[in-house]
């Protein structure tokens, strides 16, 4: 657990945060200049608040009243900047080894990092010879080998294109699953954050306006305004039930209690093993609603559920449906009226198998 209770004066506003960050991935979202990076700088020791205190995994690293300000290098923090900041004269192997601390028992070995981040074939390459995504993975590996108690990622996607972002996201997820430390990820790209985690910390003008599960935060009007017209993403952990070679589909299963939900997605280039866990993403505007099951259409997924919430979002509505798991669907007010959708209504959620993105 990382506890932050600080006041950091800034030119346009004061950053005032009093929050706790637990194990898992937390996405820190807000507009440019809202205080996201300032928060990371305070936790890491790169900035010194005027008031307050900070503790990381029970270790006090800052107390203003007592003059305690533990230096950056002694805070057991892994910090990955948006541009990676690798040493250009060192190859990938030497950059990774630079993070190793002597006489410290590491949670992960050099070979484990290399395998986890798929860096074996790059070890003898210089940073200028590899892609932006590969440089980010190397920077992640170097931070992991420093045996951090918390990992801070500042705009890890901003220096790479959309294709490379999709490559980095699964590696961050695997890191958390392996080392089980808190990971704070700063980004102004909401869909990318939602592909990493459903836990968000929302900041505007140096103030926290929401912290918790994405689905619960949606009900807050301030949050809806902050999200603006960002595309919303449904994130689900599912198990591979069956691979069907002849039709190119993968059958996925979601279980909760006695409820089992099956979803068909287009088979990707990866051959997922039956029983393996993967993460899927469905955009809120890729889901259609119907008042009944529809026969004779090509859409592979039609899931029956109950409407649990209707949330205004500018000129549209967010319909939250429980189909065994929660789905957020973006609809127009006209569609709500025509389909007579209200809280408690029975509804069918329809989405194509090709509309599902997969990370696993």
Name the residue among 84, 87, 172, 96 with its Cα closest to residue 131.
84
Domains, the chain, ranges and CATH? 2-229 (3.40.50.300), 235-359 (2.40.50.100)
Separation CA 322–CA 344 (nearest Å): 10
pTM of the model: 0.86
63-67, 159-163, 169-173, 257-261: range with lowest mean pLDDT: 159-163
Half-sphere exposure of 266 (CA within 13 A, CB side): 12
Separation CA 156–CA 195 (nearest Å): 13
The answer, yes or no, to whether residue 68 has pLDDT greater than 80, is yes
pLDDT of residue 163: 64
The answer, yes or no, to whether residue 353 has pLDDT greater than 60, is yes
> Which secondary-structure segment (H or E) carries 349?
strand 346-351
The tens digit of pLDDT for each residue in 185-221 reads 998 888 889 888 999 999 999 999 999 998 889 888 8
| List of residues 6+ apart from 80 with CB closer than 8 A | 136, 139, 140, 143, 151, 152, 153, 154, 156
The answer, yes or no, to whether residue 159 has pLDDT greater than 70, is no
Please report which confidence band the pLDDT of residue 247 belongs to, taking 50, 70 and 90 as the band edges. Answer: low
The answer, yes or no, to whether residue 267 has pLDDT greater than 80, is no
179 with 108: CB under 8 angstroms? yes
Name the residue among 170, 230, 174 with its Cα closest to residue 200.
230
132 with 159: CB under 8 angstroms? yes
The average confidence (pLDDT) of the chain is 89
59-63, 128-132, 292-296: range with lowest mean pLDDT: 128-132
How deeply is 246 buried, as exposed, middle or buried, from its count of CB atoms within 10 A (0-12, 13-18, 19+)? exposed
Distances 317 to 134, 197, 290, 295 between C-alpha atoms, Å: 39, 23, 15, 27
pLDDT of residue 137: 87
DSSP 8-state class, residue 36: H
> Which secondary-structure segment (H or E) carries 75?
none
DSSP 8-state class, residue 100: P
The answer, yes or no, to whether residue 102 has pLDDT greater than 80, is no
């Amino acid at each position: 657990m990382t506890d932050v209770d600080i006041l950091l004066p800034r030119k346009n506003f004061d950053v005032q945060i009093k929050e706790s960050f637990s194990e898992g991935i937390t996405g820190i979202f807000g507009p440019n200049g809202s205080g996201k990076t300032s928060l990371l700088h305070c936790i890491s020791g790169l900035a010194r608040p005027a008031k307050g205190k900070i503790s990381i995994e029970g270790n006090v690293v800052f107390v203003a009243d007592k003059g305690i300000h533990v230096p950056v290098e002694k805070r057991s923090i892994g910090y990955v900047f948006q541009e990676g900041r690798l040493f250009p004269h060192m190859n990938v192997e030497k950059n990774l080894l630079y993070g190793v601390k002597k006489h410290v028992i590491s949670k992960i070995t050099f070979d484990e990092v290399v395998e986890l981040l798929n860096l074996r074939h790059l070890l003898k390459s210089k940073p200028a010879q590899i892609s932006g995504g590969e440089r980010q993975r190397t920077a992640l590996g170097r931070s992991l080998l420093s045996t951090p108690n918390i990992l801070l990622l500042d705009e890890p996607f901003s220096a790479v294109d959309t294709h490379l972002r999709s490559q980095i996201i699964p590696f961050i997820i695997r890191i958390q699953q392996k080392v089980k430390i808190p990971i704070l990820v700063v980004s102004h790209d909401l869909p990318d954050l939602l592909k990493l985690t459903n836990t968000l910390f929302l900041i505007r003008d140096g103030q926290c306006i929401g912290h918790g599960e994405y689905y619960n935060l949606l009900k807050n009007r301030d949050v809806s305004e902050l999200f603006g017209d960002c595309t919303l993403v449904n994130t689900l952990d599912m198990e591979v039930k069956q691979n069907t070679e002849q039709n190119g589909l993968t059958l996925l299963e979601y279980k909760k209690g006695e409820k089992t939900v099956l979803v068909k997605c287009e088979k990707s280039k990866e051959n997922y093993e039956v029983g393996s866990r993967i993460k899927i993403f469905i955009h809120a505007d890729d889901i259609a609603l119907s008042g009944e099951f529809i026969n004779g259409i090509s859409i592979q997924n039609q899931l029956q559920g109950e409407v649990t919430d209707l949330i205004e979002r500018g000129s549209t509505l967010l319909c939250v449906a429980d189909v065994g798991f929660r789905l957020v669907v973006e609809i127009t007010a006209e569609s709500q009226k025509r389909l007579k959708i209200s809280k408690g209504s029975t509804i069918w959620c329809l989405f194509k198998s090709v509309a599902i993105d997969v990370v696993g």
